[in-house]
Amino acid sequence: MKSFEYVAPNSVKEVTALLADTWGKTEVLAGGTDLVTCLKQHLTEPERVVSLRNIKELRGIRSEKSGLRIGAMTTLAELADNKTVQAQFPALITAIKGIGSPQLVNVGTVGGDLCQRPRCWYFRNGFGLFGKAGGESLVRVGDNRFHAIFGTGGDALFVSASSLGPPLVALGASITVEGPGGKRHEIAAAEFFRAPASEKSRETSVKPDEIVTSVLVPINGLKNTTYEVRHRGGLDWPYVTASVAFRVERGVIADARVALGHVAATPWSAREAASAINGQRADAGAAAKAAAASITGAQPLSRNAYKVQLVKTAVKRAMMVAMAT
């Protein structure tokens, strides 16, 4: 990898002061499970790497009046071991357990998971964020088995790699971001991820001189779960995931949310699926309706139409599991 300056400051204020205002000049190091790979593959060649390892305020999980506050440097293992998370947010627990690697779970962090780069093999092999060569999309004409089936009208055809993204969207979480001068703002999880507009952009709303500091998940009694469809049990990314959250009032579904993973450049909010089941009896019929509506707007590429059926299966099974809790 290319040589760089390494800095490990002791406060968020010091971190943001060390970050450049354009992507690529500086990078933030959390757990390092993705960044180190990117450095080795020369996907990024920063002049400076700023580590968050010494910043205690970014660690830990605590209850607040509005929900559960999770520090960005909290490891995935710590999150999965938390009793409140286990009781209130099984959707997050399933997503973490699905990662399957003890090493990644013990080192990887909440903030790092949200901000990791795409796993698209064209991007990882040096063909850019949009996987192009000579102005032609290699994704469209090549092997796109694991690429997007939603939002495929643009150039961003990779799928979001975040394991926590879909359940956080379904749970109505918000993500706190802090920049220079202590400027802090909350971003709804559904708005945090975005399809980049150019090769020089990133896949989140975080600016180059900002960092994720925490995640706030409201505790509102929603039934929730995540269901994954995988080729194998671990050390790989799923084909499709579905995270659902809803409440049941006198046997009727309300406040439903359905978020899909690994089907678009962002966690995909299946609003039609949620609308289809609000006001419906909480039974197998509602699960079937959610599944049928979840594929609205799907536009698969040449080799990944199989994901359409997997989405329906994942949503139906997620609904059934959540209703049984």
CA neighbours within 13 Å on the CB side: how many for 149? 27
CA atoms of 24 and 38, how far apart (whole Å) = 11
Give 32-66 pLDDT, tens digit per residue: 999 999 999 999 999 999 999 999 999 999 999 99
Are the beta carbons of 94 and 86 closer than 8 angstroms? no
Chain position carrying tokens 């909480």: 282
Identify the pLDDT of residue 118: 97
Average pLDDT of the chain? 97
Residues 2, 55, 90: CA angle, nearest 5 degrees: 100
Identify the pLDDT of residue 232: 75
Give 66-89 pLDDT, tens digit per residue: 999 999 999 999 999 999 999 999
CA atoms of 5 and 248, how far apart (whole Å) = 53
Residue that wins the pLDDT comparison between 232 and 13: 13
70 φ/ψ angles, rounded to the nearest 5 degrees: -115, 120
Identify the pLDDT of residue 234: 63
Give 202-230 pLDDT, tens digit per residue: 999 999 999 999 999 999 999 999 999 99
Give 233-284 pLDDT, tens digit per residue: 667 789 999 999 999 999 999 999 999 999 999 999 999 999 999 999 999 9
Could you count the other beta carbons within 10 Å of the beta carbon of residue 292?
Answer: 15
Identify the pLDDT of residue 267: 98
% of the chain surpassing 70 pLDDT = 99
**Is 31's pLDDT higher than 90?**
yes
* pLDDT band (50, 70, 90) for residue 119: very high
Could you give the 3-state DSSP secondary structure of residue 152? coil
**Is 126's pLDDT higher than 70?**
yes
CA atoms of 115 and 126, how far apart (whole Å) = 19
* pLDDT band (50, 70, 90) for residue 231: confident
CA atoms of 301 and 154, how far apart (whole Å) = 12
Identify the pLDDT of residue 236: 79
CATH architecture assigned to 1-325: 2-Layer Sandwich (3.30)
**Is 188's pLDDT higher than 80?**
yes
